């Protein structure tokens, strides 16, 4: 059994992976994010009840750049006090259990590859669409993180007057409509014509991300996850329409697009980090 931990800017979750499922799950609202000591204390309190079981390792997914070899995280998104944290050493010293750290979206796609929809694919890219846009990459059945755990940051590529992420995350709806994606989703479901048009435009921008992924990695499959992916019926038409001008049409035909179904997939992926070192 391994513990999987998913650290977000608002909530932190932890659970035990057993046979490809998450059990004994705990969740906390992350408080006092300007205090390193307070947030680390919360994280330890979240993990501690799970260590009463025969745990072999703890895998942690963090929304940041990670020095995987040293277990250090840098400039964690939405946690101001986590500028440089030797997280692996801190947690190992607390619980005397081996720890592995990686980027949260890398954990998402690792979970899909080991336990979820992408099990049968050797080459797959996962995209988490929500507050931001993150990507994780599997090549030849192995997680590819890059030299600084920053591989797959497609959202930071230049696009129009900004970067791709600003057009393919919640910020797009805030900038366009003055509301978040959830509110735009509800109004579109109620038949609001303006909202339906904006979601179709969102699909157009998402198609630009998918084309970038295809030109760069040419994967067998792409898995879409995150809160905004749940509105896929609203952006699907715009997305598919704007994939038609891809230079290699046969590649589009052979690409499999999947929608993540398991809310615990990032926890499973975090736990799976330990499988590779045990």
Q: Tell me the backbone φ, ψ of residue 101, rounded to 5 degrees.
A: -120, 140
Structural domain 2-106+265-272, CATH architecture:
2-Layer Sandwich (3.30)
Same fold: 2-106+265-272 with 119-259: yes
Q: Which residue did the predictor score with more confidence, 152 or 221?
A: 221
Q: Does residue 131 carry a pLDDT above 80?
A: yes
Supply the pLDDT for residue 55. Answer: 96
Q: What mean pLDDT, rounded, does the chain reach?
A: 95
d(CA 212, CA 216): 6
The predicted pLDDT at position 109 comes to 97
Local confidence band at 278 (pLDDT 50, 70, 90 cut-offs): low
Following DSSP, what letter does each residue of the chain receive, concatenated?
A: -EEEEEE-SSEEEEEEEETTEEEEEEEEE---TT-HHHHHHHHHHHHGGGGGS---EEEEEESSEEETTTTEEES-TT-TT-SEE-HHHHHHHHH-S-EEEEEHHHHHHHHHHHHSTTTT-SSEEEEEESSSEEEEEEETTEEE--TTS-TT-GGGSEETTEEGGGGSSHHHHHHHHSS-HHHHHHHHHTT-HHHHHHHHHHHHHHHHHHHHHHHHH--SEEEEESGGGGGHHHHHHHHHHTTTT-S-HHHHHH-EEEE---TTHHHHHHHHTTTTT-
Domain ranges of the chain: 2-106+265-272, 119-259
Q: Which of the four pLDDT bands, split at 50, 70 and 90, describes residue 277?
A: low
Q: pLDDT tens across 64-77, in order?
A: 999 999 999 999 98
The C-alpha angle with vertex 195 and arms to 190 and 198, in degrees rounded to 5, equals 150
Q: According to the model, what pLDDT value does residue 10 have? A: 84
- pLDDT tens, position by position, 164-203: 999 999 999 999 999 999 999 999 999 999 999 999 999 9
The distance of Cα 60 from the centroid of its chain, to the nearest Å, equals 13
pLDDT number for residue 140: 96
**CB-based burial, 10-33: b 16+ in 10 Å, e otherwise:** eebbbbbbeeeebeeebeeebeeb
* pLDDT score recorded for residue 18: 92
- Residue-wise pLDDT tens digits, 36-65: 999 999 999 999 999 999 999 999 999 999
Q: What is the pLDDT of residues 139-171, one digit of tens each?
A: 999 999 888 788 888 999 999 999 999 999 999
Residue 58 pLDDT: 98
Q: Indicate the pLDDT class of residue 123, thresholds 50, 70 and 90.
A: very high
- The yes/no answer on whether domain 119-259 falls in CATH 3.90.1150.170 is no
């Amino acid at each position: 059994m391994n513990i999987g931990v998913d650290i977000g800017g608002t909530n932190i979750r932890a659970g035990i992976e057993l046979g490809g499922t998450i059990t004994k799950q705990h969740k906390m609202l992350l408080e006092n994010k300007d205090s390193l000591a307070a947030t680390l204390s919360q994280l330890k309190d979240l993990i501690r009840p799970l260590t009463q079981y025969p745990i072999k390792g703890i895998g942690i997914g963090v929304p940041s750049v990670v020095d995987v070899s040293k277990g250090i995280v840098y400039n964690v998104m939405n946690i101001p006090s986590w500028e440089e944290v030797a997280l692996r050493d801190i947690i190992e010293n607390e619980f005397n259990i081996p720890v592995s750290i990686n980027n949260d979206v890398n954990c998402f796609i690792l979970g899909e590859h080991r336990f979820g929809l992408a099990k049968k694919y050797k080459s797959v890219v996962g995209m988490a669409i929500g507050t931001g846009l993150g990507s994780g990459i599997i090549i030849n059945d192995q997680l590819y993180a890059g030299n600084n755990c920053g591989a797959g940051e497609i959202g930071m590529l230049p696009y129009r007057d900004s970067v791709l992420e600003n057009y393919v995350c919640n910020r797009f709806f805030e900038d366009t409509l003055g509301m978040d994606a959830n509110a735009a989703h509800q109004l579109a479901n109620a038949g609001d014509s303006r909202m339906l048009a904006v979601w179709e435009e969102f699909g157009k921008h998402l198609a630009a991300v998918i084309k970038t992924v295809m030109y760069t990695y040419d994967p067998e499959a792409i898995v879409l996850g995150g809160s905004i992916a749940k509105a896929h019926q609203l952006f699907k038409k715009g997305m598919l329409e704007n994939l038609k001008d891809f230079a290699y049409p046969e590649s589009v035909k052979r690409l499999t697009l999947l929608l993540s179904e398991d809310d615990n997939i990032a926890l499973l992926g975090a736990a799976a980090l330990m499988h590779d070192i045990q």
